[in-house]
Amino acid sequence: MPEEYFNERLKKQLNQILQGLGDSGKVKTVKTTNTIAHLTGLMKCFKIRTMPVLDAKTLVGVVSLVDVAKVLTPRNTKLPIEYLTQKGFDMTQLHNANKEMGKKTVGEVFDSILDFKPPVFLQTETLEDAIKQLIRRDENHRRNRTLVILDGVERVVGTLSYVDVLRIIRKGTGIDGFLNGRTANDILTSQVVTHTQIECLQDAMFTFDDGLFTHIPITTLQDGNIVIGIVDDVAVATLEHQLLFEDLCDYPLGQMMTKVSDKNTVEPNCPIKTLIGKFVDGHERPTAILVGDYEGEQFTMAGIISYVDIFRKLLEFIDGLNNQKPGNN
């Protein structure tokens, strides 16, 4: 049987591409009546970043790791315990607040989020349409990183995340010109919003507030391109807890950032296929990667690439293939 080319796969329905849609063992959901402790337990055990929420059998919304982090801050290495102790914060307050929060129901805690229209997608729609929906923003100006897949009677049969799609792209046949012929330099965004290492948590919260950004590169100087780290929306949401804000609002971004490393950076000549590996192969699964060059340990940023950039450029590449005249292949 001849191997299927990627531009043909784009036109296929999801239920013809994804294995196991509707398998009750693979579809994880929570009910509005489940507790927050139950929700976080499922997300941790099954490494789920976006959880569909049902009222009876009807999908009413989704809850993400960012949403959870804002209401249930964990006592772990993500918290600057020493900094909080110096501020005189009593950690037992947080422990008790989290304990009480764990007893509340998903419907109680996330009622405002569940008012939003969930990012749904029918299993009979095509992979191309799914990619386009992951690119666009919804009516609430949010970009959804995971789609909830429904069957013909609006039953949840699975989910499709940007990571799932990147894995499909990486294995694509007939797009070697994109995967190995194009580089990070061909698709990066050079105009990037940055913060300095001495700016603080509340500055990052303000930047993330409009939903336009998921990562902020941290520089040594204002308007500089020497980047020493990156802060993502999950890290900021983890510290947004109402009990912590007054003590952490001035917490320097230089202390909470993830330092630049091989995990979150690539050189401009990095092939797209290798770049995709940065998004999908590690535990962190970032939504953006920094592009630049190292001189010793100093990283000079040329730009940033999100999964959305990859999706857009891929669709442009496929359009170019489809528009080629016969005999020019």
Q: What does the pLDDT look like over 223-272, one tens digit per residue? A: 778 999 999 988 888 888 888 889 999 999 999 999 999 999 999 999 99
Same domain, yes or no, for 141 and 20? yes
Q: How far apart are CA 69 and CA 253, in angstroms?
A: 18
Which residue, 116, 110, 316, 304, is CA-closest to 212? 304
Q: Flag whether the pTM goes above 0.75.
A: yes
Q: How far apart are CA 129 and CA 126, in angstroms?
A: 5
- Residue 329 clears pLDDT 50, i.e. is over it: no
Q: How far apart are CA 218 and CA 258, in angstroms?
A: 9
Same domain, yes or no, for 112 and 48? yes
- With H, G, I as helix, E, B as strand and everything else as coil, classify residue 54: strand
Q: Which of 128, 154, 170 is the last residue of a domain?
A: 170
Same domain, yes or no, for 216 and 263? yes
pLDDT of res. 326: 57
Same domain, yes or no, for 161 and 228? no
Same domain, yes or no, for 153 and 107? yes
- With H, G, I as helix, E, B as strand and everything else as coil, classify residue 48: coil
> In this structure, what token pair is assigned to residue 97?
């607040």
Give a yes or no: residue 64 inside a domain: yes
Which residue range(s) make up the domain with 153? 6-170
Same domain, yes or no, for 161 and 271? no
Q: How far apart are CA 39 and CA 105, in angstroms?
A: 9
- Residue 310 clears pLDDT 60, i.e. is over it: yes
Same domain, yes or no, for 108 and 185? no
Same domain, yes or no, for 189 and 161? no
Measured at the alpha carbon of residue 119, what is the angle toward residues 188 and 313, in degrees to the nearest 5?
20
